[in-house]
Homo-oligomer: A and B are copies of this chain.
Amino acid sequence: MSLGDPALQTPGDTAQCCPSLVEAPLDDAEADELATIFAALADPVRCKLVSLIAAAGEACACDLVDPVRKSQPTVSHHTKVLAEAGLIRGERRGRWVWWSVVPERLAAVCSALTRATPD
C-alpha cells in the first residue's frame, strides 16, 4: 500500500473550503487547519513544485526532480505534503505519476484570506 492510498486521490474529507482568516476569531481547530494548509506552501521547493505543475497543466513526477535540484525522495516527500493539504492531486499512469493542481483548493485558500476584509 504505497502508491495507491494516502496522497494520490484527493482526500474525501478535505473540504475545498476553509475557515476565513479575517471574518471572526478562529478557534483552535480552525487555526490548526489553516496553518497546515499554509505550512504546505511555506517551503521554497514546494512553491516551485506548485508553480511547475500549474504552469505545465500537469507534470510527471520524473520531470520535477531536475528543476528543483533535490533528490527523488525529497521531491516525493514534498509532493506528499502538498497532496495531503489538498493543493495538488496525483494520478498513476503506468509507471509514472502525473501531478496537477487543484484550482478550487487554491481558490478556497484565497477566499479565506480576503473574505470580509475591509478595504
Binding site for B on A (CB under 8 A): 20-26, 28, 30-32, 34-35, 38-39, 41-48, 50-52, 54-55, 57, 67, 101, 103, 106-107, 109-111, 113-114, 116-119
Dominant SS at the A interface?
helix
- Tell whether A41 pairs with B48 under 8 Å between CB atoms, given A54-B22, A110-B110: no
Across the interface, which residues of B come within 8 angstroms of A114, CB to CB?
103, 106-107, 110
Across the interface, which residues of B come within 8 angstroms of A101, CB to CB?
22, 117
Across the interface, which residues of B come within 8 angstroms of A67, CB to CB?
25
- Which of these, B26, B51, B116, contacts A24 with CB under 8 Å? B51
Across the interface, which residues of B come within 8 angstroms of A50, CB to CB?
21-22
Q: Within the complex, what minimum Cβ distance (angstroms) separates A110 from chain B?
A: 4
Across the interface, which residues of B come within 8 angstroms of A28, CB to CB?
44
Count the copies: 2
Across the interface, which residues of B come within 8 angstroms of A110, CB to CB?
109-111, 113-114
- Tell whether A35 pairs with B55 under 8 Å between CB atoms, given A103-B119, A117-B107: no
- In the complex, the answer to whether B41 meets A26 with C-beta atoms within 8 Å is no
Q: Within the complex, what minimum Cβ distance (angstroms) separates A67 from chain B?
A: 7
- Which of these, B30, B55, B103, contacts A23 with CB under 8 Å? B55
